Amino acid sequence: MKQTLEQTLRAAIRTIPDYPKPGIQFRDITTLLGDARAFRRSVDELVHPYAGMKVDKIAGIEARGFILGGAMAHQLSSGFIPIRKKGKLPHETVRVAYSLEYGIDEMEMHRDAVKEGEKVILVDDLIATGGTAEGAVKLLRQMGAEIVAACFVIDLPDLGGRAKLEALGVEVNTLIAYEGD
């Protein structure tokens, strides 16, 4: 019997209780990445809405967004932009501060990573509160990118991240939602 996408992904994603702090149910996609069928299916589903569309770049948020984004860029014949934590990129960068559940951090990308008007898809493994993704959208727009969409394997809708990006006018594509658990 053929599994649905949701069944395939739920079977491949490991949940780690009380990580990184008590009360958190951490959704770990490293097990999905290690499952060739689930990984391929995830990337195919993330790419599908944009097949045939001109997408100049895929921007991946450190670190799991690099893995998903690299695979998406390959399938869409697009370039790839790494968005990293402050101090990790070797060339001239632009930076933005963003809110986390527990404070403020900064992310950056190379100043020459995107040209004015280029169409970019943002990708990461999970959207929770949306602070990191919102910061990445602002950083890309600051450099003149046109955000086509933001894509995530997992949505935690109770935490409001999707709504935060949609309020910025960003289309959000997710593959599976974990609600209330």
As a whole number of angstroms, the distance between CA 101 and CA 50 comes to: 31
Catalytic residue among 6, 14, 37, 101: 101
Catalytic residue among 64, 108, 118, 134: 64
Q: What's at 149, amino acid-wise?
A: A
As a whole number of angstroms, the distance between CA 18 and CA 22 comes to: 4
Catalytic residue status for 64 = yes
Structure tokens at 128: 């929770």
Catalytic residue status for 37 = no
- Which residues does the annotation mark as catalytic? 64, 101
